[in-house]
Amino acid sequence: MTRSRHAAAAARRMRQRIGVAVVAILLAHPAAGDPFDDGLAAYFSGNYAAALRLWMPLVELGDAKAQNNVGILYENGEGVARDDNEAARLYRLASTKGHADAQLNLGLMYEQGRGVAQDRVRAHMWFSLSAAMSAGSMLWGGLGALTARDAVATKLTPEQLAQAQVLARRCRETN
């Protein structure tokens, strides 16, 4: 298994662990009609079609959290046919709004060449942006982004690494 696959597998395992914690919180404090939270509850209970139905109006309104989560549905084929192109599109929408998990997910798509042309420079850029957005929060995404960024850096030439760093810096500067 390659390092990027290890990072992706670790990210999936962490998502599942977080999911268990989120379900426990949701059960202790039921959502009060919030479509996003209701979608989370549906997702973690395995009702992916309901999660999709609840999140799609939010996606259309530009909600980055919903865009990322629907991207996960498409990437995993949960409640919809698996579609890496649609997953990457949704991750990109959320990523451009600064959603750290979507940036990590989009970076993984670029690293693996799923839904987008494989581009390790862009993967490094998205991992760097995700790590910067997650800095100090100790969320799994920040650690996953750092691990993935460092793993992909070993596959880049010094020139490619410099290019990725310039791209990430430009993105941060232009918001």
Q: What is the DSSP string of 54-99?
A: HHHHHHHTT-HHHHHHHHHHHHHTSSS---HHHHHHHHHHHHTTT-
Residue 48 contacts residue 42 (beta carbons within 8 Å): yes
Tokens of 41: 């509850």
Per-residue pLDDT tens digits for 67-86: 999 999 999 999 999 999 99
- Specify the DSSP element, H or E, that contains 23: helix 3-28
Per-residue pLDDT tens digits for 80-110: 999 999 999 999 999 999 999 999 999 999 9
Residues of the chain with pLDDT under 70: 1-32, 135-143
Stated pTM of the model: 0.76
DSSP 31: -
Tokens of 139: 């969320």
Give the per-residue pLDDT at 31.
Answer: 46
